[in-house]
Structure 1
Amino acid sequence: MKRTLHVEAWGDPEAPRAVYLHGVTGCGGHARGLAEGWLAGRFRVLAPDLLGHGSSPYEPPWDIEAHVDAVLDSVGREPADWIGHSFGGRLAFELAARHPGLVRRLVLLDPALALDPAVALYAAESGREERAYASFEDAVERRFEESGLRTAPRELVETDLREHVVQSEDGLWRYRYSQAAVIAAYGEMASAPPSFSSVRVPTLLVLGNRSYVTYDHLLDAHRAALGDLLRVVDVESGHTLLWDALEETAAAVTAFLADV
């Protein structure tokens, strides 16, 4: 079943392509700061809204295969550098395992490759609660409280959420995503990912040192499988690297993608 996603785009259409995949509850617009400030001068940056998010179709299925197929149907099947945050990192990794010829280099931003089942259950149960707010400002404030953001500039968060949190007919403000799709994604993140040896492409792994998504249980195996193909950068950040540590994260991504 072919489904076309809404895709945000920056940069010269003739430039080499970089595709950004956001995490659950997010949208393609989350890549705006990274794209406009750092990548669009060299790349055509494409950032789709995933299934069940933003302006993309909301109907199921929402499994990993459906997400990967929808992304490729929407951005095309040309080689690109792939950047994925959280669940988007899992999807980018899956895509590299299934279609290795389409991935030049892989950037994983605090990826949820194999989420602990207990964490996935907690997140899924929390995702059942409706997030509705009396005002846009209230939504932003609650995001700071819920995400544990400490160093994220409020202006940056407000800019990102301005297009993603909208007022409903009842006057309340809600995120543009399907709660059911989010819950399904947490189940997918708890499943076993492809082996690291099946994704032998140059890979940058950027980890937030205060993130609730841990990578310690995977790092040794990842290093053993990739050797010099793997570069690891730790930043002072929670899980949302492009809010907590945009400059540090963007600098690491830019340096990695500048290498031939």
Structure 2
Amino acid sequence: MTLTTHVFGTDAPGAPHVLAIHGLTGHGRRWESLAADHLTDLRVIAPDLLGHGYSPWVPPWSLEDHVASLVDVVDQYIPVVARPFVVVGHSFGGAVAVRLAHRLGSESVCGLVLLDPAQGLDPAMALRVATDSLEHWDYPDAAAAKSAKRAEGWADIPEMLLDKEIDDHLTDSAPGRVGWRVSAPAAATAWSEMARDAVVPPPGLPTTVVVADRVDPPFVRPAFLEVCATERHDSVEIVHADCEHMVPFLAPELTARAIRSMVDRG
């Protein structure tokens, strides 16, 4: 299915391309501030994933379906002359990104930046969070939605960015209610998908994994880091960020450096 896709940064011929994949309940426009403030010389391709934003909401929503839809985005938005390119994924988007790299191969992907990637999660925790999110899916007004965001790991995010999230992503829900522009069933399915076994980057593919150290329990599981440190020690760099889960907003300079380093290596 065709994904709604946002494009940020330069349109200069020959500019390096970056495919940016947002996390669960997010949307492609979340990458806009990072691109505008730190990556103006790059071309950032940022789709709304299936079930999110203005992309189709109809199932299926498996990780493999997300990957297939992103292959179509690559074919449409990243010309052959701009390949190989860098893929960056945040949270659930990190789980998608690593599988996309396996699907496309080194001829298309020259590097991965995984920002607090969420995969291999404890199934009981995934069930608990999915159930809780469905029980508190919408809000009486924008003020309540904003307050909920502040309590969900957005406490340190600048007011301007949170206001932009409200403007870009909040919509009418049930009569007299508002909610994020996300399919609730797709979101619940994503928690199940994140409880599947973690996948490590392809052998030899340069990868930076950014771990948000203030997330408890962590989304980046110890078993994944152990495999990266042993089986992929020659190609995977593990970086720790002293922040909560929203790494692109809370550590934009670190994020930009990781992306630019991958672009330069590519």
2:16 pairs with 1:16: yes
CA distance in 2, matches of 1:97, 1:207: 21
Q: What displacement does 1:54 show?
A: 0.2
Q: 1:153 aligns with which of 155, 158, 161?
A: 158
CA distance in 2, matches of 1:165, 1:219: 35
CA distance in 1, matches of 2:7, 2:104: 22
1:101-250 to structure 2, matched below 5 A, reads 101-145=107-151, 147-168=152-173, 170-196=175-201, 198-212=202-216, 213-250=219-256
Distance 1:153 1:55, change over 3 A: same
1:39-78 to structure 2, matched below 5 A, reads 39-41=39-41, 43-76=42-75, 78=80
1:76-95 to structure 2, matched below 5 A, reads 76=75, 78=80, 79-95=84-100
What amino acid is aligned across from residue 159 of structure 2 in structure 1?
Answer: R
8 Å contact from structure 1 (residues 150, 244) kept in 2: no
2:98 pairs with 1:99: no
Q: What displacement does 1:233 show?
A: 1.4
8 Å contact from structure 1 (residues 121, 186) kept in 2: yes
8 Å contact from structure 2 (residues 5, 46) kept in 1: yes
CA distance in 1, matches of 2:254, 2:119: 22
**Partner of 1:227: helix, strand, or coil?**
coil
Identity score, percent: 35
CA distance in 2, matches of 1:183, 1:123: 9
CA distance in 1, matches of 2:234, 2:159: 37
Distance 1:53 1:84, change over 3 A: same
**Partner of 2:237: helix, strand, or coil?**
strand
CA distance in 2, matches of 1:132, 1:113: 26
**Partner of 1:40: helix, strand, or coil?**
coil
Q: 1:6 aligns with which of 4, 7, 10?
A: 4
Q: What displacement does 1:184 show?
A: 0.7
Q: What displacement does 1:169 show?
A: 7.1
Runs (5+) with no aligned partner, structure 2? none
